[in-house]
Amino acid sequence: KSGFISIIGRPNVGKSTFLNRVVGQKIAIMSDKPQTTRNKVQGVVTTDHSQLIFIDTPGIHKPKHKLGDFMVKSARNTLKEVDVIMFMVNANEPIGGGDRFIIDMLEKTETPVFLVINKIDLVHPDDLLTIITSYTEEYNFAEIVPLSALNGNNVERLMETLTNYL
Ligand code: GDP
Ligand code: MG
């Protein structure tokens, strides 16, 4: 199995930390899945039975800036073409305008969206349900995965769940 995954989320939620943890190699891709938008490959994870290709979504990472039509269209096209969208949030911060900006962009996509709640090492387990609910009130996520990109907790499970969607 092989497929494309895009990680979106506001600055400092831990996207790069996650990629650095899971991505073993940065190579050119030989996938037979065509993409019409040219996207930057951020890294590839190869396991015995799957290849996960993480690609950048230009435009969606700077929600504070007003995006031009072209940027919005480009971001939407990318979101349409990937197999899974990972929407990463910070468990230690309340949902904010930056998160809602991204959720609005997800509104019209049929691509499955995972809610990835990062930095769970910083919160008490009893608070997790409240955190999850603050996001699920806003969007119908395909999967909800709490993890810590820093210490690796639950990262392996996310990789397995991603593979199920390719
Ligand atoms: P990005 O802007 O989304 O790419 O976020 P970064 O990966 O640069 O991370 C921003 C900060 O959050 C860095 O100081 C990371 O070390 C920290 N960070 C990332 N993931 C975790 C995590 O799971 N737990 C904790 N405690 N800190 C994290
Ligand atoms: Mg980064």
Name the pTM for this structure: 0.91
Cβ-contact 120, 153 below 8 angstroms: yes
Tokens of 6: 């895009």
Starting from the CA of residue 20, give the closest ligand: 1
Is residue 17 lining ligand 1, measured as CB closer than 6 Å? yes
Task: Give the Å distance between the CA of 39 and the centre of ligand 2.
Answer: 16
Length of the chain: 166
Q: Domain locations in the chain?
A: 2-163
Task: Give the Å distance between the CA of 18 and the centre of ligand 1.
Answer: 8
Q: Find out whether 56 is annotated in a ligand binding site.
A: yes
Full pLDDT tens readout for the chain, 166 residues: 899 999 999 889 999 999 999 986 545 455 556 665 567 778 899 877 889 999 887 767 665 566 667 777 777 888 888 999 999 999 999 999 989 988 988 887 899 999 999 999 999 999 999 999 999 999 999 999 999 999 999 999 999 999 999 9
In words, the CATH class of domain 2-163 is: alpha beta
Burial of 94 (0-12, 13-18, 19+ CB in 10 A): exposed
Task: Give the Å distance between the CA of 111 and the centre of ligand 1.
Answer: 26
The sign one gets for the Cα dihedral 94, 104, 62, 114 is positive
Tokens of 130: 């409240």
Cβ-contact 145, 116 below 8 angstroms: yes
ipTM score of the complex? 0.99
Pocket perturbation via mutation, ligand 1, pick of 17, 23, 56, 131 by most ligand atoms within 8 A of CB: 17
